[in-house]
Structure 1
Amino acid sequence: MDLLVSTRRAPRHVVVEVRGELDMDTTPQLRAELQRLVDAGDREVVVDLGGVPFMDSSALGDIVLTFTALRDVGGRLSLAAVQRQVATVLKITSLDSVIDIYDTAEAAEADVPPAESARG
């Protein structure tokens, strides 16, 4: 299955919509997009995983790296619309207690702080 990654900009954040399985073959595509956003100065990133039925450890590693990179510059990574199997992996690894996870991308977007506080 091919991976589709699209990015949508909003005034205070960026939403990365992912469709397909995230495994060691497809994760580099997501990694490149997330790194591009961090390098470009984006600080509020929502990753919509509603179209991701499976995620392996390589994808988890890249999510943790992005979470850390954003946190280190006063930003935030949020996950949205996580499907059951992916939610189980996040729970087993305790990432669900570290990274903000929302039922929908809209809920994650609504929780993005105002621009003044996002800059820390």
Structure 2
Amino acid sequence: MQLLLSVRPGRGCTVLEVRGELDMATSPQLREALQGLINAGDRQVVVDLAGVRFMDSSALGALVVMFKAFRAGGGRLSLAAVQPAVHRILTITSVDRVVDVYDSVRAAEADVLSSDGATGR
């Protein structure tokens, strides 16, 4: 399945919308897109996973690596609208204890806005 990625401005952040399956074949695209946001100066990024029904360990690894990259640069990477199958993976691997996971993009944006100094860039 093809992976579709789109970036849009959010409230106090940048939103990366992901549609398709995140697996060994598509996880490099996700990582490149997130690295591109870092390179562009984005510091508060919410990954909208509403359109993702499957994620394997390579995609999980890409998210963790990029979470660390955002944090190292003084930024924040959050996940939103995570589907049940993907949420199970995040829970089993305890990634949800490290990376903030929200029920919706709106909830993630609200938390970014309530954080001190949240500017999105």
Deviation at 1:55, TM superposition (A): 0.3
Aligned to 1:111, what secondary structure does the other structure show?
A: helix
Equivalent in the alignment of 1:32: 32
TM-score where L is the length of structure 1: 0.92
Equivalent in the alignment of 2:6: 6
Deviation at 1:15, TM superposition (A): 0.2
The 1:83–1:115 alpha-carbon spacing in structure 2 relative to 1, beyond 3 Å, is closer
Higher strand share: 2
Q: Residues 12 and 114 of structure 1 are in contact (CA less than 8 Å); yes or no, is this contact kept in structure 2?
A: no
1:14-66 CA-to-partner distances (Å, cap 9, x unmatched) read 00000000001111111111010011111000000011000011111110111
Q: Residues 11 and 113 of structure 2 are in contact (CA less than 8 Å); yes or no, is this contact kept in structure 1?
A: no
When the two chains are superposed, the root-mean-square deviation of aligned CA atoms in Å is 1.6
Number of residue pairs aligned between Structure 1 and Structure 2? 119
TM-score where L is the length of structure 2: 0.91
Aligned to 2:12, what secondary structure does the other structure show?
A: coil
C-alpha distance in 1 between matches for 2:23 and 2:114: 34
C-alpha distance in 1 between matches for 2:105 and 2:116: 22
Give 5+ residue unaligned stretches, structure 2. Answer: none
Equivalent in the alignment of 1:80: 80
Equivalent in the alignment of 1:23: 23
1:89-118 CA-to-partner distances (Å, cap 9, x unmatched) read 001110011111000011111111468624
Flag as ranges the 4+ runs of structure 1 deviating above 4 A. Answer: none
1:70-97 CA-to-partner distances (Å, cap 9, x unmatched) read 1112111100010111011001110011
Larger relative contact order, structure 1 or 2 (CA cutoff 8 Å, min sep 6)? 2
Matched to 1:49, the amino acid is: L
Aligned identity (percent) is 61
Give 5+ residue unaligned stretches, structure 1. Answer: none
C-alpha distance in 2 between matches for 1:34 and 1:88: 23
